[in-house]
Each structure stands twice: as structure tokens, then as C-alpha cells.
């Protein structure tokens, strides 16, 4: 049902945790499946210097959260905004059709964290 990459990111998730003084935080949830993802960003020179996540959800939700943090680390904010749910799923060698909504959440949480950061910059 799941690819080796999905299983690897589920059993050995990367970048788990919180960044207490995060520059941007994004949280999304899907009440239908119960998955909730929170992504924390540390930004330096318009680039993602550090990224962590906390996810409550199924194995696919944890795997996509882990993968999106790996994909976004080191990218500029504009580059990170280009990451899509489809790209996350492809990086994991695919997800079962009934789990595709989980990959949507990972990209959405990343985008929400970037929007949070940019909103704070405008009001500062």
C-alpha cells in the first residue's frame, strides 16, 4: 500500500519538533480524517534556515510532513511556495488515492507558515 519512502519517513521522520522562537508558524487540519499539521520556520536572508513539524495523524500525514520539511529546508521563501501537494506525493514515490489529501496538508501547512512570517514582516 505504501512506498518504501513513505514507510521510511513515517518510521524515521525528519525535523520533528517545535521551534520556540519561530519566525513563522502554519497550522492546517482536515476534520474529515482528523489530521492536523503544524510547521515552524526559522528564516534568515529570505531563506528557510530551519524547519520543524508536529503532526497528529495517520502515517501518510507524518510522512508528508517529514518530506515537505526536507524539500523546503534551504530554499528561498518563493521557492518553497512553489512546492505543491503533488510534488510532495511524487517525492515519496506516490500515495494511495485515499491518502492524497494528507499530502495536500503538508504543502498547505508550509504555505501557511510562510504567509504567517510575511504577515509579521509587514506589521513590524
Instruction: Tell me which residues are annotated as active site.
Output: 33, 102
Q: Please say whether the beta carbons of 32 and 61 come within 8 A.
A: no
Residue 101 CA from chain centroid, whole number: 13
Amino acid at each position: 500500500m505504501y512506498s518504501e519512502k513513505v514507510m521510511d519517513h513515517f518510521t524515521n521522520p525528519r525535523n520533528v519538533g517545535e521551534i520556540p522562537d519561530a519566525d513563522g508558524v502554519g497550522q492546517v487540519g482536515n476534520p474529515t480524517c482528523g489530521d492536523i499539521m503544524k510547521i515552524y520556520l526559522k528564516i534568515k536572508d529570505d531563506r528557510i534556515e530551519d524547519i520543524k513539524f508536529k503532526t497528529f495523524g495517520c502515517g501518510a500525514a507524518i510522512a508528508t510532513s517529514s518530506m515537505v520539511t526536507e524539500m523546503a529546508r534551504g530554499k528561498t521563501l518563493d521557492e518553497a511556495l512553489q512546492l505543491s501537494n503533488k510534488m510532495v506525493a511524487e517525492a515519496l514515490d506516490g500515495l494511495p488515492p485515499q491518502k492524497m489529501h494528507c499530502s495536500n496538508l503538508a504543502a498547505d501547512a508550509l504555505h501557511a507558515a510562510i504567509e504567517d512570517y510575511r504577515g509579521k514582516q509587514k506589521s513590524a
